[in-house]
Structure 1
Amino acid sequence: MTSDDRAARVAGIFFLITFVSAITGAVLYAPVLSDPDYVTGPGADVRILLGVLCEIVLVITNIGTAIVLFPVLRRHHEAAALGYVAARIIECVLIVVGMLGVLTVVTLRQAQEGGGDSASSVPVARALVALHDWTFLLGPGFVVGIGNGLLLGFLMYRAGLVPRRMALLGLVGGPLMSASGIAVLFGAYEQTSVWSGLATLPEIAWEASLGIYLTFRGFRRPGSRAATLPGGVGEAGWVPRP
Structure 2
Amino acid sequence: MDIATSIPGLPGLFIAGIFSASLSTMSSSLNAMGAVVFEDLIRPCLRSEINDKTANNIIKFVVVVIGVLCVLIVFVVDKLGSVLQLTLSTAGVTNGAMVGLFSFGMFYPRGNSKGALAGSICSMLLMGWIVFGTQRELAEGRIKQPVLPVSVEGCSFNVTLPVSQLNNNSDEEVFVLYRVSFLYYTMMGMIIVFVVGTVVSLLTEAPDREQMDPVLFTPLMRKYVTKKNMEPAEEELINKIV
* TM-score interval for Structure 1 and Structure 2 normalised by the shorter chain: 0.3 to 0.5
The TM-score, its normalising length taken from structure 1, stands at 0.32
Structure with greater helix share of residues = 1
> Considering only CA atoms, is the larger Rg found in Structure 1 or Structure 2?
2
The TM-score, its normalising length taken from structure 2, stands at 0.32
